[in-house]
Amino acid sequence: EAQVTQNPRYLITVTGKKLTVTCSQNMNHEYMSWYRQDPGLGLRQIYYSMNVEVTDKGDVPEGYKVSRKEKRNFPLILESPSPNQTSLYFCASSLLWGFNEQFFGPGTRLTVL
Amino acid sequence: SQQGEEDPQALSIQEGENATMNCSYKTSINNLQWYRQNSGRGLVHLILIRSNEREKHSGRLRVTLDTSKKSSSLLITASRAADTASYFCATAPDNYGQNFVFGPGTRLSVLP
């Protein structure tokens, strides 16, 4: 089944404790992206990747890191999480940048205490 | 960066009625996409309309795009209770590699 998977789905952590949210797609998509969703603000793009080893900042990249070492995986790293990073996070992928629909993962609900 | 904005923020209708949601944006786009999200879940793609298209249909969905006004509308005809969800527009910029922008969404409630 074609899908985007994220892990974990739920995470409660404390300020400053490094964490990684994994994202994987099995559709051989070139484009992958991370978004955060906050009430009243819609989805905001954190980072995106046009292809392997190519990443770029979205609208809200501060406090996040990403890597794209292989086509299927695009992990989101929070080196030192803070309470303002409490949010619902979505990973998405599409065949090519901009020309196709994005497929979204189920989301990761992160709480930073 | 450009901003997609949906209007209205919330809409409540009876089953069988039509629902219309609008989206405005600020800069040139390659295409505009509409997504649906059921409470707290991942977004599901509904329809994509390219900048050189004016109207597109998919089942009970009709999307229009007016690039001169930088606006789009999503019409859901003969709504059902299962259409209750949040609807988002997203714009893909016409410059290669720029980021997508989603609007804050319209919360649609279809009452049985």
**Size (chain B), residues:** 112
Evaluate whether B6 touches B22 at the Cβ level (below 8 Å): yes
Of A95, A99, A48, A59, the closest CA to residue B94 belongs to A99
pLDDT digit string, tens, across residues A38-95: 987 889 999 999 999 999 999 899 999 999 999 999 999 999 999 999 999 999 999 9
Q: How far is B100 from chain A (nearest CA, A)?
A: 7
Average pLDDT on A4-24 reads 97
Evaluate whether B76 touches B61 at the Cβ level (below 8 Å): yes
Residues in chain B with CB shorter than 8 Å from the CB of A45 are 99-102
Does A98 have pLDDT greater than 80? no
Residues in chain A with CB shorter than 8 Å from the CB of B44 are 104
Record: contact B88-A56, CB cut-off 8 A: no
Record: contact B42-A42, CB cut-off 8 A: no
Q: Which pLDDT score, from 0 to 100, does residue B1 have?
A: 31
Q: What is the DSSP letter of B81?
A: G
| Nearest residue of A to residue B43, measured between CA atoms | A104
Record: contact B104-A42, CB cut-off 8 A: yes
Which class would CATH give B6-111?
mainly beta
Which residues of chain B register pLDDT less than 50? 1-2
Residue in A40, A48, A102 closest to B104 by CB = A40
Return the ∠ at Cα A71 (arms to B45 and A65), rounded to 5°: 85
Q: Domain limits of chain B? A: 6-111
Record: contact A88-B93, CB cut-off 8 A: no
Record: contact A42-B99, CB cut-off 8 A: no
Evaluate whether B18 touches B79 at the Cβ level (below 8 Å): yes
pLDDT digit string, tens, across residues A28-38: 999 999 999 99
Q: Which of residues 83-102 of B touch A (CB under 8 A)?
A: 88, 90, 92-93, 96-97, 99-102
Q: How far is A15 from chain B (nearest CA, A)?
A: 24
Task: Please list the alpha-helical segments (H only) found in chain B.
Answer: none
